[in-house]
Structures are given as structure tokens and as C-alpha cells.
A = this chain, B = another copy of it.
């Protein structure tokens, strides 16, 4: 029999203690903020019918494209592929399932405001920091038509950043409105305004606009015109716009000005005459008014013409929470994390199921990326590698019950304690504690049991001192980090050492 290789599928990964502690902190803080705004938790299945999920991923057109889809194992192999029950898939986000819930449970009070944390899966090309399985943590308000819900979403994102320890100025929420983009296209002479359909000309234009940050204005101009040849000589077909059209779009993309009202004024001119575009500007103005009244100024929330978002279900306001602070990692590398929150308004998603319009808006945070960034904040506690505060070592296997009893006594006192259960002498056990970063160790052999004492060893102090002393021998002689403590005082001593 061939042995299986202990391998991972591409784009998937194992996560160890320090990264999980960082992630757990994000989850706890973000949940607190979501609950502060009264959102309710919801959980939905990881697996849904493909037609329930819909095909809202950027540039995906087949059941398998972009998602993990598989045949319904309850139906035989002869079910036609276009049977609505033929295909199941792992969810690619949490929003499609939210829309299903709203459509399915008539008894849900509106507005239905829920938060949901869960994994999502996409069959995309993985890369550094880009995985095929990722944790999302969403909040959404369903059944809300006013801009107050979108303004609130911006506040939630700001509050979450600050609750996580990011200072004002370390982050910014960038807001735009897709109706404005559609208005610009309408003024360019477009009649088909479905800006995210993979095969529409409007879609090609918007995808070109979305590349502003990566390619700069020159690159976008090429993609809007005849096309662009990249460094590897690959040619991307352009949208074939004429000069006047390209200039109008360039003008829109350049409307990045200091104040939100100035942005509204300048794009208002560009979309004047387009009903959709004017509606978009009016919505942005309402958003601005509410945010300003609450003191969420341009320091925290800006309007930005380049925010488009990939998902095709967004119908109006779109927003991103962006980490603007450059963070230096342990190796001195400057890291940029960019957009970590993303969301917007999707007024048609429930309608897919019911035929009735149900306005909705909300956003999602990429927990893993945010955790990676938060871990690097200078004020964040050094990453722990372990949960135990004490390792009870085992010197004499005959007295296992005594070591075990000490460990239980410490646990009963609320101290996280590991009893060494592996094999190896006291040296190996110390190395084990050291590798994991356990701060304290308890040691007792025949002499100690006879005298009714335990050796309490402070491994943190040991690590500090061993960095100072010249030789291992010199260090061993002194043992300044080790103290003999009467059995009855061990718990007190350990509590004091951990403070």
C-alpha cells in the first residue's frame, strides 16, 4: 500500500497558535463593535445550491468558474446538468446566503440586521496572502432604503478600525456610488449600463477604470482606447472609446479632491443630465451630511471615484475600509495592507428569489489580512506561542500522580497549566517549555518531595539572563531564575510571578 503524502491542496494552509491568537482578537473586537450597533448573529450552511448562490463573482460564467462546485450527491449521475438541483457549491461569500434567508423566512422582522462570520471558498489562482479559503465577517442591514444605513456602515468600519488599535489617520473609508459611474457612461453615449457584466462594453470600461491604482492613468487610457500590451507582451483588448469619451472618464477619475462636498460638486457637472448619475450624487450628498453631523470628517471617510468593487450585485453606494498606514514587519520590510473592509448597497439581491425589491446594504472584513496587519502594530502585545503559563515537569515517573495533582491544583486556581506528557529528561522538558515560550516551570525530584518544596523556574528571566552571561557553564552555576518554594505556597508564588 502506498503511503499518502501529508500535503495540502494548493491555496489552502495550516494556521498555528500565534496567528490564531491574532485572529481571535480581531474576531472578538469586531463582534463587539457589530453588537454595539445592534446587529444580530446568523449562521448559514457552507454548502448551497449553485442557483441560490448565483454567479456574482467577477468574470465568472460557469458553475465551476471561480467557485468550488460539485454534483449533488443525492441525485443520480443521469440528472441533466441544467436541473436546478444538479449542482451544489461551497459559498464564495456570505451575502448570497443572506439574501436566501431573507427570501425564505417571511416572519423575519424588517429591517433584518445581521452579522455573520464564516469561511468562504473561491477556486481562484492563489498567491502570497491570497488563499482559496478565507474567513469573512460581515454585517448587513436588509430592508433599509435610506442613506442612513450606508452612513452607519461607514461608522461601523471606522469604529472597528479604532477598536482594533488603529489610530485616526492609519485608515480611511473610501466611498463611491456606482450610479455616478453609470452616469458618466451615459454621458459618454452608452445605453447599456450594466457595468459589471463580463461581456458588456460598459463592463470592459469599468474593469479598465478599476486598474487605476495598479497601472496609473496612462495604462487606463490605453485600456479605454485601442488596448494595452504589458511587460510580458500580452495584449489586452481595449474598450475602443474615442478621445472625447476617454477624456470624460479621465476627468471623472481625477475628481479626487479634498472635501466630500467638493467631490460631489465636481462630479455633479460630469453627470448632469443623466438621471442615474444625478441620483448617485444626491445619495453621496446625503451620506456626507449624516457623516458630517456625527463628526466623521474627511479624516475618516472620503469620497473616491476609483472605488468600484468586484461583485456585480452592488447597485449604488460602494465602500472600502483601507489601511493607509505602512507597517514595518519584523524583518524591516514595509508592508501595505490596503483594502480590508469592502461593501456596498445591493437592492436587487433578494428580488432574484421573490420578485420583490428589498433594499439592503452592508460590508465584509477579511479577517486574515486584518489580523496580519494588527499583529504588526507596535503597541500590540508580543505574539504568544502558547496558552500555558506553567509547565509541570516530570522528573520521577513513579510520582506521576503527584505532578498531575499539582497541575490540577494550579488549574483549579485559574492558572493555565501543562503537565509534561511526552518522553525525555528534564533538559528536554526545559527545551520544550522554552520553544513554546511557556513562562514558568515547576520541578520536583526525590529531594524536593522529601523537603516538601518545588523548584519554581522563571524561563523568561532565564532567557534574558542567558543573553547576558558569557558561557553556558557560568549560567548553569548561578541559576538565579530558580527558587525553592514550599508546596503550600507554590500557587501564590506563581500568581505573583505572572503579574
Residues of B contacting A421 in the complex (Cβ-Cβ under 8 angstroms): 111, 113, 141, 144, 146, 148-149, 152
Residue of B104, B152, B388 touching A38 (CB-CB under 8 A): B388
Residues of B contacting A423 in the complex (Cβ-Cβ under 8 angstroms): 143, 145
Cα A289 to Cα B411 in complex, Å, equals: 20
Cα A497 to Cα B74 in complex, Å, equals: 54
Given A84-B5, A144-B421: A123 and B73 interface contact (C-beta under 8 Å): yes
Instruction: Establish whether residues A148 and B45, one from each chain, have CB atoms under 8 Å apart when the complex forms.
Output: no
Residues of B contacting A151 in the complex (Cβ-Cβ under 8 angstroms): 404
Which residues in A have some Cβ–Cβ distance to B below 8 Å? 2-10, 12-17, 20-21, 24, 34-49, 51-52, 54, 64, 68, 70-74, 84, 88, 90, 99-101, 103-105, 109-111, 113, 119, 121, 123, 133, 141, 143-146, 148-149, 151-152, 155, 159, 289-290, 293-294, 352-355, 385-388, 391, 397, 400-401, 404-405, 408, 411, 414-423, 432, 435-436, 438
Instruction: Establish whether residues B42 and A408, one from each chain, have CB atoms under 8 Å apart when the complex forms.
Output: no
Instruction: Establish whether residues B54 and A64, one from each chain, have CB atoms under 8 Å apart when the complex forms.
Output: no
Instruction: Establish whether residues B119 and A432, one from each chain, have CB atoms under 8 Å apart when the complex forms.
Output: no
Residues of B contacting A45 in the complex (Cβ-Cβ under 8 angstroms): 8-9, 12-14, 133
Cα A105 to Cα B110 in complex, Å, equals: 50
Q: How many copies does the complex hold?
A: 2
Instruction: Establish whether residues B416 and A294, one from each chain, have CB atoms under 8 Å apart when the complex forms.
Output: no
Instruction: Establish whether residues B14 and A42, one from each chain, have CB atoms under 8 Å apart when the complex forms.
Output: yes
Cα A42 to Cα B133 in complex, Å, equals: 15
Cα A387 to Cα B119 in complex, Å, equals: 23
Instruction: For the complex formed, measure the closest distance between the CB of A173 and the CB atoms of chain B, giving whole angstroms.
Output: 15
Residue of B5, B37, B121, B123 touching A353 (CB-CB under 8 A): B5
